[in-house]
Structure 1
Amino acid sequence: MSADISWSVAAVNPEPTRPALSPREIEVLRGWLRSDSKTEVAAELFISAATVNTHLARIREKYAAVGRNAGTKAALTARALQDGLVTLDEL
């Protein structure tokens, strides 16, 4: 007697919910992931370091709101990779 188990990978491991990041939030996130400092990103994007911090805080809030906490740079890197916002080659 054989069991007919036809689970799909999606049913076992559903796609994570992506937060609705604005184009500017994505730009700031990508810049920060590629750089060594928030000051460097700020200079590159012609904004203040405080504005970079504000964008990153909002990005983290949006990830938390969909149940995908990203409290560290490493966690944000993982989320951006999972969501296709960056590739390993870009980092």
Structure 2
Amino acid sequence: MSETGRSVRVVVVDDHPVVRDGITGMFTAEPGIEVVGEAAGGDEAVGIVSRAAPDVVLLDLRMPEGSGIDAIRAIRATDPERPRILVLTTYDTDRDIRGAMAAGADGYLLKDARRADLVRAVHDLVAGRPVLAPVALATLTDRSPRPALTSREIEVLRLVADGTTNRAIAGRLGISEATVKTHLVHVYEKLGVVDRASAVRLAWESGLV
């Protein structure tokens, strides 16, 4: 039960039916947790979350019908705090972890988590306690220096922050659009993010732009 005395309402999002059914079945048998919706992709998840008003959303990151990152961002655009969002995935790279947390996820677990840990995670998130797999915690607390951006990469990033398109950046800098995309790939890798919005946000926070 949640601290309010009612069952914790959960939405499960995963493109693999067997995984989705397994998680749903596990929670259905668990007192104090109620599965109020399922989705096979990020786009579908946003609509279900809006209708079902869950306390917690469990979702994978990479799905063919709308990514988990996009879904997190869309949900957070509506409410920056509710529902709590728990990423449950097989992906454990620095880029995936930082990208999910930057988008607004509240927790990050891998699919090899034990049943008891997953149940505990749902209750912990509702209570406002952090939930992070060891690899995610190590990534987010790593203070080792990141590779420095080159002057051209910073130049491209500043133009992106101004809302300039790749084509316009190419024209402004006298380079090809493919070269602009290559610079952005390097920027994402160095900053540990997955898209333009996260790169710009981190650049602002770091004083790069």
TM-score range, shorter chain: 0.5 to 0.7
Structure 2 residue aligned with 1:75, among 195, 198, 203?
Answer: 198
Matched, 1:44 2:172: yes
Q: Which runs of 5+ in 2 are unaligned?
A: 1-140
TM-score normalized by the length of structure 1 = 0.65
Q: Residues 32-70 of structure 1, C-alpha deviation per residue, up to 9 Å, x if partnerless?
A: 221341000110011111000000001111122xxxxx2
Residue-pair matches, total: 69
TM-score normalized by the length of structure 2 = 0.30
Structure showing the higher helix proportion among its residues:
1
> Against the structure 1 CA distance between its residues 54 and 14, is the aligned structure 2 distance closer, same or farther, given a 3 Å change threshold?
closer
With CA pairs under 8 Å and 6+ residues apart, which has the higher RCO, 1 or 2?
A: 1
Matches within 5 A, 1:51-90: 51-64=179-192, 70-86=193-209
Structure showing the higher strand proportion among its residues:
2
Q: Which runs of 5+ in 1 are unaligned?
A: 1-12, 65-69, 87-91
> Is the contact between residue 167 and residue 177 of structure 2 (CA under 8 Å) also seen in structure 1?
yes
> Is the contact between residue 21 and residue 59 of structure 1 (CA under 8 Å) also seen in structure 2?
yes
Larger radius of gyration: 2
Structure 1 residue aligned with 2:153, among 6, 16, 25?
Answer: 25
Q: Which one is further off, 32-41 or 14-23?
A: 14-23
